Structure 1
Amino acid sequence: MKPGGPDGKDPLALYSRRRIAFFDLVFTRFARRHMRALRLARDARPAPPPGVPLVVYASHASWWDGVAFMLLSRRLFPGRPMVIPMEAAALARYGFMRRIGVFGVERDSPRGAVAFLRTAGGVLARPEAMLWMNAPGRFADVRERPVPIAPGLVRLAELAPDAAFLPLALEYPFWTERRAEMLAGFGPPLSGAALRAMPRPERAAALAGALAAAMDRLAEHAVSRDPARFVLVQQGGEGMGGIYDLWRRARAWTAGRRFDPRHESRPHEPPHHQPGGGPGAGSGP
């Protein structure tokens, strides 16, 4: 199937590794300034089969999901180009995103649905590619049940039976610092061929159930407020910042103590660990 968005352009043909590296740096710096940390649940790391295209379908609780997509995809699947659908009207305001794998989708129209499936199916015909998308197709609270699943995601298995469908739960709770935590957890992959064999209502229920299970497991970890349950993917800012932290730092220096900016110190908090995966292998950390 020949890929192409509403403008007929192949998102992977427009994809620029140089620009994705630049915007990865931009998104990383932005997350460091505004989030305390990006954490991946230790018992919920991605484990898709190697050598097959991936569909990462995620919960959609926040505007921050796009930043999470960039950070997680670059760190967990460094050899795979990522493609993301985005509402065409919004993409028109951010044309540079076409060079980092984003393609436009017309919402709430039959023509838009057909274009999405044509583009996504073409992308997923390539074993090294991966499609990341928000499963509900709209913002949805993490407590909403059943988890909403967009019709386009349900139909995607019919066009990409060789793909692995990987549920991704995302949450942004506040713990003990003024910045929120960015928490992530994957569920076990679902076979595209097995999904295609199901009637559409049953397929939708299977996709929703797998994502809900990943979201429930991540919620348990979030409630614990225990960083030891997570791998630290990206450290962000801690403490109050500004003049107050300058004063605290000066007090620590005069007392001969190491300055710790955190509101609540955890002596056994795990150190920063960079999850890895072989380029193109699609393996998790």
Structure 2
Amino acid sequence: MIQAKKSALFERAFAMYLMPSIRRSFSHLYARNIRPSKGPALIISNHSSWWDGLLFFFLNRRVWNLDVHIMMHERGLKEFPFFRRLGAFSIDRNNPKDILASLRYAENLLKQGKTVILFPQGDEFHLETRPLEFHTGVVYLLEKCPEIPLVPVHFYYSMRRDKHPEVWIDQGDSLMLSDFPEGSRHDRTVWLQERETTALDRLKTDVLEENYEEFQEMLKRRRKP
């Protein structure tokens, strides 16, 4: 596996590039319940776009201010190695030994007080793919670090009236391992998968019904001349 090689200087420089890029790429960024964690957390999300990881970086700079590391597919990290300096580390799901090494690396990060972001689907899938078939790594990490909260985040991308797409982001309530039903790691993963599928579909409904009142606009648009 490829380990992260974080650089605070590179993060600051990258933020100067990313913020204008987000403004150019999206017409609106609506967010609900985005709030900082009181400490390290395991953050998960559905994964349908290359933008997902960058939006996490945006949220962390704007709201969370946590020491964040993110699990990324090895082929993507090799293609974009600069993500290592933002806290990305790799996983190769075609190699069982590499999977275990990546999970143990993530476990050590959590035990060091760092926040870990991962995508339980394991790869990018179309936004409307159902169910959100999760791998068991999330429950593995919670079993190893039961004092760490699980924070679900949901992304939904939508084309509407503007030239550029909107992105809607919803942060769900935190969960502890004790909130999960009793059962095997697989059973608990299926429970989480069903729970997060329902939450994402609820966000989709909010988008379709244009329920703006519960969301905050986080994207500051440039004024037109």
Q: What TM-score comes out, normalization by structure 1 length? A: 0.71
Q: How many residues align?
A: 225
1:80-115: CA deviation from partner (whole Å, max 9, x where unpaired): 111011122321232222111011212221111111
Per-residue deviation at 1:186? 1.4
Give the equivalent residue in structure 2 for 1:140. 125
Per-residue deviation at 1:34? 1.1
Per-residue deviation at 1:195? 4.3
2:21 maps to 1:30: yes
1:62-91: CA deviation from partner (whole Å, max 9, x where unpaired): 12212211111222211x111011122321
Per-residue deviation at 1:46? 4.2
Give the equivalent residue in structure 2 for 1:279. none
1:144-185: CA deviation from partner (whole Å, max 9, x where unpaired): 333211232232212221111111110110121111001100
| Percent of aligned pairs sharing the same letter | 24
Are the counterparts in 2 of residues 123 and 130 from structure 1 also a CA contact under 8 Å? yes
CA distance in 2, matches of 1:237, 1:224: 27
RMSD of aligned residue pairs (Cα, Å): 2.3
Give the equivalent residue in structure 1 for 2:94. 108
Match of 1:82 among 51, 68, 93: 68
Are the counterparts in 1 of residues 42 and 151 from structure 2 also a CA contact under 8 Å? yes
2:51 maps to 1:64: yes
Match of 1:55 among 35, 42, 58: 42
The code of the aligned residue for 2:29 comes to L
The code of the aligned residue for 2:52 comes to D
Describe the SS at the equivalent of 1:172: strand
Are the counterparts in 2 of residues 36 and 235 from structure 1 also a CA contact under 8 Å? no
Per-residue deviation at 1:202? 2.3
Structure 1: segments with no counterpart, 5+ residues = 1-5, 239-244, 250-285
Per-residue deviation at 1:225? 2.6
Describe the SS at the equivalent of 1:167: strand
Q: What TM-score comes out, normalization by structure 2 length? A: 0.89
Structure 2: segments with no counterpart, 5+ residues = none
1:111-154: CA deviation from partner (whole Å, max 9, x where unpaired): 11111111100011023x21112221122233333321123223
The code of the aligned residue for 2:80 comes to Y
Cα separation, partners in 2 of 1:47 and 1:15, compared to 1, 3 Å: closer
**Structure ID, larger Rg:** 1
Cα separation, partners in 2 of 1:147 and 1:230, compared to 1, 3 Å: same
Give the equivalent residue in structure 1 for 2:77. 91
